[in-house]
Amino acid sequence: MEAVVTQPLEVVKTSQQASRGGDARSWAQHVRARGPFAGLAPQLAQTTVKVGLRFAAYDGVRRAVGADALAGFVAGALEALVWIAPTERLKVLRIQHRETHPNLAASIRCVVAAQGVRGLWRGGTATVLRNSSVVGTRFVVYGETSRSLRAAGAVPADAVPAVAGLLAGALTTVLSQPLDVLKTVMNAADVGERAESNLDALRRVWRERGARGFTAGLGARVLKIGTGQAVIFVTYESMMRRLSP
């Protein structure tokens, strides 16, 4: 549900971040150029698995060490290394290079043939750094915000997961924006393009767009992730209540 609802925003965000130089196109123009559901197949594959990995790892580590931030950090790093890095690579290629990557299977074949299996993990370092910091912070913010909202009675009890998830998603999105831009730039290089290091990619973004390059796609990303986290936490809390003995 999260992936389907927010995919048009993902298309806008990715297109804005991966564009060379300035990009004055509107959100609607980005969507028309790429298609509102470009990259949806790898995004669906990513989302359905990553959320299961995230909550399972988070709950397991939290029970073992009792620290929300550490549990979130480990969960974020694990899901990024095992699953998000390769699916992000495929998703961005499908959005940015639709002609040479017409479907998910073609993208996998193209990348593996030209770069080997390691090519699926291009941009993996930035993905792991982004995800571990984001998830570690997000669980802490979500927990504190939920407790504060319930204590203050500021919103109806049933709405607390949605509001807390939205706020946690929006805040962690802003904090992780530079790493997300770096991840997208690394992911967007097609198989025939020269491989850049993370440092080279950072320098290029700065050279071509200046500081504004690291805010590219922020508006669409805040809306996408804020909405997505509201959906995820509402679903999680609801399912946990149903499944608890």
pLDDT tens string 46-63: 988 988 899 999 999 999
Residue 44 confidence (pLDDT) above 80:
yes
Entry pTM = 0.87
pLDDT band at 25 (very low <50, low <70, confident <90, very high): confident
CA diameter of the chain: 57
Residue 78 confidence (pLDDT) above 80:
yes
178 CB-contact burial (10 Å; exposed 0-12 / middle 13-18 / buried 19+): middle
Residue 195 confidence (pLDDT) above 90:
no
pLDDT at 219: 95
Residue 10 confidence (pLDDT) above 70:
yes
Rg (CA), the chain: 18
pLDDT band at 23 (very low <50, low <70, confident <90, very high): low
Q: Where do the domains of the chain lie?
A: 2-243
Indicate the average pLDDT of the chain: 92
43 CB-contact burial (10 Å; exposed 0-12 / middle 13-18 / buried 19+): buried
Closest CA to 173 of 57, 17, 1: 17
Fold of 2-243: Mitochondrial carrier fold (1.50.40)
